Structure 1
């Protein structure tokens, strides 16, 4: 029998190394990108720069929203650069590939950016944790109130890859479950500049609601062009299924006012969120953090706590430690990590303010409702995660 006498025996390479794999240049860069790297850096600094007595290092890279590029970067990090955990990974296709690789390598995967619920469903992993929202929660929290309000017929504009398709599928289920109907959908390529043909199809459908199953610059371009086409003036409503704070800043309140959507965080929600956000803003050109950037801070902090407690950076050791420890920080209150890797946390139904309601920079949202995590996220029994016993 051997006894481990120092933390270094279980911390590989004598360093805890965190990789932020993100979109630095594409349609989601403003929502994650450099802001997510800063959030991770703040988490490391606030933790004291060490875990289990070993120094913590940070690296970052741009996956360009391409699964092959993201996977190659992740493999290089794991195999030759001593990276112990990868976080962020907006883009569901990249995230699914990186989660599988992380499982093969026994590395913790902290998915804060992607939307696909498959990460805690059919593609779940014993070393994968899905931190912020997912498509199920976004659709469930935001779509149901609109259908219940009488907006029964829907037509979707959908980003044509795994994230958009999954977001449409989840929203369509919520629409029909609440007595509504889906009249059709138009699929558009990622990073589109011209939505005219898709919007004309949506307009011709006569649906009460055009649901935007996309994000980032695609969502903003579709919103702007819908306004130019006079779609809302013609009596149809626009529902954006995924909205991030930088999107609203770029659109402006005049274009975005009244929009109802779901999110996992708002910087101006309370004293704790404001205190952290103001520190972030001071280092980020005055820009307020969006939910995905704040999520990186929360995920990295919880990871470092588990590394410190377990004196290990092996995924199979660290993740059980993370799962048994409640999550409490400015971003998440009294949350837990479920057996399938899903963080069960409150979600918020939000509405963009009228320009006259906004009193200071980044004062953009009002909270309509707080939805507890057990009501917001998919029940574990419905996820088909192979790690979860059928009895549940």
Structure 2
């Protein structure tokens, strides 16, 4: 059923198991980019992932009446904030899922806390969600900019990329990614020789790439994501930058981005992620179901929406309420052994702790199919991937 909201389009899916008593009503809002540069890696795919989580929960446990709505925040904090307020104030939403674009996520996190909901974030990257702007009702499940830096940034520096120049998306996520990666580069003997802020979103990277080309850097760090990263990589190849010997560091890169590039352009690129469809049999089985419903393999953000939604629903069932602080506390109290993210837990600051992986994109000769794109180079233990918790953000002690 489709219905029009004042601030976006909402897809409503009622998921109920026959024969179960509907004791607790749960309404989930998937808030993301449904029309812009992040729509492929979040968008409708995240709605599908949330629906799959609800269906799987009802098949396994039942006892909840689950409704899912969705809306497009257009990567704008004011629009995202207005949708979140409407959902909480007028429509009875209990938790908001996904929320890529860190500036939007940070605004929605505060609105969520004010309304005693839960922000179950998969799409945003800023570490501020569990540090400078930590809140008791924020769960940050999939990745953050520190984990990306500890993967791609560290690996490329140790491989000889000592001089870095950053092209940085000019908003909270881009600056967080640059800051975290620069710290890792310097800690491993490298240096930052220059940076330039790039308007978000952008289509023409020519002037910024030329600055990077003339900087003498070994590595051009792309502190952006989605369509911005894809466009920057394509234009760097057109200018002959990579052919001349400079390397590109796609600091946040998704399988949907890799798939969008030609084999010649993407071969050999390194990236850090939390999930890959071919990592084990459980991931392959789930990914086949997702592919059948959505038409592409899931990004790690979409996979994160599935897993974090399941964890949220299990917590609601366990505590018997949708009260935000109570549910968030239960999510932190309960370790997980997830089909897509493996064993892990949520710290007192809301940061999900699980392994991360360093991947390299396969060449056409190495690939056996359309989505056979990654070779796993290294596993980064969760405790090493993410920043340590700030004492003042440990809400289990408050």
Give TM-score, length-normalised by structure 2.
0.92
- Structure with the bigger RCO (C-alpha within 8 Å, sep 6+) is 1
Q: Secondary structure at the match of 2:350?
A: coil
Q: Partner of 2:315: helix, strand, or coil?
A: helix
Which runs of structure 1 show a deviation greater than 6 angstroms over 4 or more consecutive aligned residues?
49-52
Q: Say whether residues 1:34 and 2:54 are aligned partners.
A: no
The aligned residue for residue 363 of structure 1 is 372
TM-aligned CA deviation for residue 53 of structure 1: 3.0
Contact 1:49 1:56 in 2 (8 A): no
CA contact (8 A) 1:49 1:55 kept: no
2:263 to 250, 253, 258: 253
- Aligned residue runs from structure 1 range 1-392, under 5 A: 15-48=25-58, 53-285=63-295, 287-381=296-390, 385=393, 387=395
Query: Any idea what the Cα deviations from partners look like across 1:342-392, whole Å, max 9, x if unmatched?
Result: 0100000000001111101200000001111001000114x86374879xx
Equivalent in the alignment of 1:4:
none
Three-state SS of the structure 1 residue aligned to 2:294 is: coil
2-structure distance, mates of 1:322, 1:175: 34
SS at match of 1:175: helix
Task: State how far apart, in whole Å, the 2-side matches of 1:210 and 1:41 are.
Answer: 39
Q: Note the C-alpha offset of 1:253.
A: 2.2
Answer whether contact 1:280 1:288 (CA < 8 A) is retained. Answer: yes
Q: How many angstroms apart in 2 are the aligned matches of 1:128 and 1:187?
A: 28
CA distance in 2, matches of 1:296, 1:303: 10
Deviations along 1:242-264, one digit per CA (max 9) or x if unpaired, are 00010001013221110111001
What is the Cα deviation at residue 205 of structure 1?
0.2
Residue 49 (structure 1) shift: 7.3
Change (3 A) 1:304 1:209: same
**What are structure 2's unaligned runs of at least 5 residues?**
1-20
* CA deviation profile, 1:205-256 (whole Å, cap 9, x unmatched): 0100000000000000000000000001111111110000100010132211
Following the alignment from structure 1 to structure 2, what is the Cα–Cα distance between the partners of residues 254 and 34? 29
Tell me if structure 1 keeps the 8 A contact 2:140–2:350.
yes
Aligned length: 378
**Do the aligned residues in 2 keep the contact of 1:135 with 1:170 (CA within 8 Å)?**
yes
Structure 1 Cα separation of the partners of residues 92 and 110 of structure 2: 18
- Look up the SS of the partner of 1:278 in the other structure: helix
In 2, distance between residues paired with 1:385 and 1:200? 42
Return the alpha-carbon distance in structure 2 between the equivalents of residues 93 and 272 of structure 1. 34
Structure 1 residues 122 and 177: CA distance shift in structure 2, 3 A: same
Q: Distance in 2 between matches of 1:195 and 1:261?
A: 21
1:21-48 CA-partner distances (Å, limit 9, x unpaired) = 0100111000000000000001111111
Output the CA distance in 2 between the equivalents of 1:52 and 1:265: 27
In structure 2, relative to structure 1, the CA distance for the partners of 1:260 and 1:296 (3 Å cut) is: same
> TM-score scaled by structure 1?
0.93
- Structure 1: unaligned runs, 5 residues or longer: 1-6
Distance 2:178 2:397 in 1: 28
**8 Å Cα contact 1:52-1:309 kept in structure 2:** no
Question: Could you say what the CA RMSD is over the residues aligned between the two structures, in angstroms?
Answer: 1.7
Contact 1:51 1:304 in 2 (8 A): no
SS in 1 for 2:279: coil
Question: Are the equivalent residues in 1 in contact too, given 2:64–2:317 (CA < 8 A)?
Answer: no
Do the aligned residues in 2 keep the contact of 1:52 with 1:307 (CA within 8 Å)? no
| CA positional deviation for 1:193 | 1.2
Are 2:268 and 2:361, in contact at CA under 8 Å, matched by a contact in 1?
Answer: yes
Tell me the SS of whatever aligns to 1:205.
coil
